[in-house]
Structure 1
Amino acid sequence: MKQIFEDILKHNDAFVANKEYLPYQTDSNPNKKIAILTCMDSRLTELLPAALGIKNGDAKIIKNAGGMITSPVGSTIRSLIVSVYAFDIKQIMVIGHDDCGMSNVDNSPLIEKMKERGVTQSDFETFDTPNFDTARWLEGFANVDQSVEKTVESIRTHPLISKDVEVRGFVINPHTGKLRVVG
């Protein structure tokens, strides 16, 4: 595992020394005034921007497991709120994808793996409150289209998101890059 970090650092040294960063230079304001909430699936790392025609500096791209809003006060909605007001975002795309790892996730095996790696029952209880259930928080969704629709609605109705921000939902095919409109 340590070798991966060493390989990355070696590559980075060469990247900087050869000034390979020059084509990526831009400022922090997104050119297209759009934020994209999507899944962290590694198949989308290069495919999604290429399929959308998004270049470095065009959009704020926020990724998490499933491309979902799980809390009205979580880091995902916080990032969208900051994007809207600090970077003048006018549109938000929520992009789920077919064959998502969060689809039909059973949190039981995930919780068991956590315990096998040292997370104790006491650790879980630290987070469990009447307003928060760790097991429910780790659940996925049954239908990607419905998950995207739910997330779009969560953003549209959030009291801190301006009503003049257009929010739309999409699902991308992780093999072809084809988008379909949801909702």
Structure 2
Amino acid sequence: MIDEILDFNKVFVENKGYEKYITNKFPDKKLAIVSCMDTRLTKLLPAALGLKNGDAKIIQNAGGVISHPFGSVMRSLLIAIYELDVREILVIGHTDCGARYTDSQKMIEKMKAYGITQDNIDMIKYYGVDFDLWLGGFMDLEDSVKKSVDMVHKHPLVPETVKVYGLVIDSVTGELTRI
């Protein structure tokens, strides 16, 4: 697969396919979005929101969940606010999310099937990682979005002037519902 990608990229650059994507690092709409890494959202999400390249910072992870107040998603949002002039944040969950019902215990069993040893799993637990919290899913989509919105809204390093909204996008139609 990597060879295929590199071959395509060489032609892309030679043909200046990048020119239509040229922008700068500052989001034109002063907007950051936290959403899921689901492949259905790759093009659907920006299209459903009327966004073009350069309009927003889009942070994607499994479930679109902000799981820790000092984790990588919050770090990215703080950099977006203070270095890239973001003034609004959208947390967007989606219907039929694959991360929703993730079971950490089943995932641990899959890890073992791939050759991860119990010693390695125990070592991670030793360092205080709660596998259920870290790898587990969520039952209620709207509640998950609300928790992430609250984490940003109440974060001690996020200024009150930054607006934070929660939404759910239909992963088929792109319809947005405000939470």
2:175 to 171, 178, 183: 178
1:18-167 aligned at under 5 Å gives the runs 18-129=15-126, 131-167=128-164
Structure 1: 5+ residue runs without aligned partners?
A: none
Task: Give how far 1:117 is off.
Answer: 1.1
Cα contact 2:63–2:97 (8 A) shared by 1: yes
Q: TM-score, normalised by structure 2?
A: 0.96
Cα contact 1:38–1:94 (8 A) shared by 2: yes
Cα contact 2:103–2:132 (8 A) shared by 1: no
CA RMSD of aligned residues (A): 1.2
1:90-117 deviation digits (Å, cap 9, x = unpaired):
0000000000011122222211111111
3-state SS of paired residue (2:17): coil
Cα contact 1:124–1:134 (8 A) shared by 2: no
Question: Which whole-Å CA distance do the structure 2 matches of 1:27 and 1:7 have between them?
Answer: 28
Task: Give how far 1:130 is off.
Answer: 7.5
Give aligned-pair identity as a percent: 48
3-state SS of paired residue (1:21): helix
Task: Give how far 1:129 is off.
Answer: 4.5
Question: Which whole-Å CA distance do the structure 1 matches of 2:116 and 2:51 have between them?
Answer: 39
Question: Which whole-Å CA distance do the structure 2 matches of 1:125 and 1:84 have between them?
Answer: 37
Greater alpha carbon shift after TM alignment, 131-140 vs 69-78 = 131-140
1:109-156 deviation digits (Å, cap 9, x = unpaired):
211111111222222222224853123210010011110011000110
Greater alpha carbon shift after TM alignment, 36-45 vs 69-78 = 69-78
Question: Which whole-Å CA distance do the structure 2 matches of 1:131 and 1:84 have between them?
Answer: 30
Question: Which whole-Å CA distance do the structure 1 matches of 2:57 and 2:82 have between them?
Answer: 13
Greater alpha carbon shift after TM alignment, 102-111 vs 72-81 = 102-111
Structure 2: 5+ residue runs without aligned partners?
A: none
Task: Give how far 1:62 is off.
Answer: 0.3
3-state SS of paired residue (1:128): helix
Q: TM-score, normalised by structure 1?
A: 0.94
Runs of 4+ in 1 over 4 A off after TM superposition: none
**One-letter amino acid matched to 1:22:** E
Cα contact 1:102–1:140 (8 A) shared by 2: yes
